[in-house]
Structure 1
Amino acid sequence: MKILALDTTSGACSVALYSNGQITERFVQAERDHTRRLLPMVDEVLAEAELTLPGLDAFAVSRGPGSFTGLRIAISCVQGLAFSVDKPVVPVSSLAALALGARRTHPEWGESPIVTMLDARMQQVYWGIYDTQSPNDSLCPEAVQNPEQVLLSLETDGLAASFYGAGPGWHYEALAAAKAKERDLDALIHARDIAELAVPLWQAAKTLSAEELEPVYLRNEVTWQKRQKIRSR
């Protein structure tokens, strides 16, 4: 099985190849340079594995949530690549990938739930809760909320102090009241974790064609306003 994964969701750009259990990745923090770097990184990863696009089984990409521009860059690139060789695409949650990466970085966190957060701006965060049993699925619906709403939701879910926190969205001062065992605000999304999460989804035939692929913004009204502004130019 060979899956090429791409991500430009946040302040990093990464490409990873999953090939029969082995992963090759290129990762760089380049918040404003994604477009120029992405395709050369694809070429590097494929060349290292001595593969070409037709030799892949599928592509994987972060479907969101995340920044409007960041999501569109990777998704548009994957759509073009997948369409060119008629391969399926596996969409993966950016919050789930963030959780898997944090678990990989912090093996001492064990199997405790991880609450991941990305800054959604406008004093809000994108967030979800992930465990080891079903790492692709949040234990509650992924949401965009202000910090106070998140705190209330965490209390309602009964997590108490039995979870860890990961992601830059945890920087809001109000979230200090959340009783996480530990937090990693520097955690970032890696394409290697998107590739790992894509494997069981591909095996379960949870794929899309390039034409069907759409980003998940959660904050649909903001996305609509941005699209309207772009179309009016």
Structure 2
Amino acid sequence: MTSILAIDTSTDACSVALLSARTVRVLQEHAPRRHNQLLLGMLRELLPGGPGGLDAVAYGCGPGSFTGLRIAASAAQGICFAAQLPALPVSTLAAQVQSAIRLGLAGEGCWVLSTLDAHIGELYWALYQVVDGLPHAVSSEAACRPEALVIPGAEQVVALGGGMRYHADMTGASQARISALHDTVLPSAEDILPLAEAAFTAGAWQQAEAICPVYVRDEIRWKKLAEQGPQS
């Protein structure tokens, strides 16, 4: 049976989850700017014997908080190097849709606009459809100002996440497409697990040195180990 550790620190929530023997254990705390203080302790509590027995480590790869994404990527990279494990990057926007599925806010066939507050008056967003209980991307992840948001297609959508704080600033056409709005839903490590398990089964994993957050904005980019130059 597959055993996967998941880490997400992309928003104000700090969460870890462990899938083992078909059971899931979750630790989560709302902790703005305290992820680096909490994460290692949460990992020790979840894995008191260390990472032995794990098959892979999944992490919320973004988009989201720049600092938060670095924390999750660094933790995943360290565990994967130490235990020689593959990594499974999972979109935080897709994980947020999976949260909505678990909470009963989005069902089979539903079209879901997943958003996060990108701050500085912008939102991160992507459109998904729920197929076989998992979110399938209909659009690429993007960042834009709310008035510039153009929702692909013509279907009614369920809108999720912190980016919906800008709902009133969206065009009338975008507002008319939204049939339900749930602005308090957040991505969680628990909801990374179903997506990570599907990716692991499909062989869509990466080596530790390839771990890299997805920032969406082109001007900010994580440097992989090979790009960082000599280490002091």
User: Which range, TM-score by smaller chain?
Assistant: 0.7 to 0.9
Q: Name the SS of the counterpart of 1:183 in structure 2.
A: strand
Residue in 2 that maps onto 1:3 = 4
User: Which residue matches 1:53?
Assistant: 51
Among 153, 159, 184, the residue aligned to 1:157 = 153
Mapping of 1:76-115 within 5 angstroms? 76-105=74-103, 107=104, 109-111=106-108, 112-115=110-113
Of 156, 167, 170 in structure 1, the residue corresponding to residue 164 of structure 2 is 170
Separation of aligned partners in 1, 2:213 and 2:194: 19
Q: For structure 1, which segment, 28-37 or 17-26, has the greater mean C-alpha deviation from structure 2 after superposition?
A: 17-26
SS at match of 2:194: helix
Paired AA for residue 193 in structure 1: D
Q: What residue ranges of structure 2 are gaps of 5+ in the alignment?
A: 223-232
The two structures, once aligned, show a CA RMSD in angstroms of 1.7
- After TM superposition, the structure 1 = structure 2 runs for residues 26-45 of structure 1, keeping only pairs within 5 Å, are 26-45=27-46
* Partner secondary structure for residue 221 of structure 1: coil
Asked if structure 1 preserves the Cα contact closer than 8 Å seen for 2:147 and 2:171, the reply is no
Q: Contact between 1:93 and 1:136, CA under 8 Å: does it hold in 2?
A: no
C-alpha distance in 2, partners of 1:12/1:36? 13
TM-superposed CA distance for 1:182, in Å, is: 1.3
- Displacement of 1:190 in angstroms is 0.7
Find the counterpart in structure 2 of residue 122 from structure 1. Answer: 120
Change (3 A) 1:108 1:171: closer
Q: Which has the higher strand share?
A: 2
**Structure number with higher helix proportion:** 1
**Structure 1 residues 191 and 148, CA gap change in structure 2 (3 angstroms):** same
Contact 2:98 2:135 in 1 (8 A): no
Give me the whole-angstrom Cα distance separating, in 2, the residues matched to 1:17 and 1:222: 31
Q: TM-score, normalised by structure 2?
A: 0.87
TM-score normalised by the chain length of structure 1 = 0.87
Match in the other structure for 1:12: 13
Q: How many pairs does the alignment contain?
A: 215
**Which consecutive segments of 4 or more residues in structure 1 shift more than 6 A?**
none
In terms of mean alpha carbon deviation, does 174-183 or 196-205 score higher?
174-183
The CA deviation string for residues 160-191 of structure 1, in whole angstroms up to 9 with x for no partner, is: xx211110110012138413121111111110
Q: Distance in 1 between matches of 2:20 and 2:162?
A: 30
Percent sequence identity over aligned pairs: 37
Check conservation: 2:16, 2:190, Cα contact below 8 A: yes
Most deviating of 169-178 and 12-21? 169-178
Distance in 2 separating the partners of 1:185 and 1:71: 21
**Alignment deviations for residues 89-145 of structure 1 (CA, whole Å, 9 cap, x no partner):** 00000000011101211x253221111100112221110112221735421111111
Query: Match of 1:18, SS?
Result: strand
Cα distance in 2 for residues equivalent to 1:108 and 1:128: 17
- Note the C-alpha offset of 1:43: 1.5
> Given that residues 3 and 20 in structure 2 are in contact (C-alpha distance below 8 angstroms), is that contact kept between their aligned partners in structure 1?
yes
1:132 and 2:130 aligned: yes
**Alignment partner, residue 228 of structure 1:** none
How far 1:209 sits from its partner (Å)? Answer: 1.0
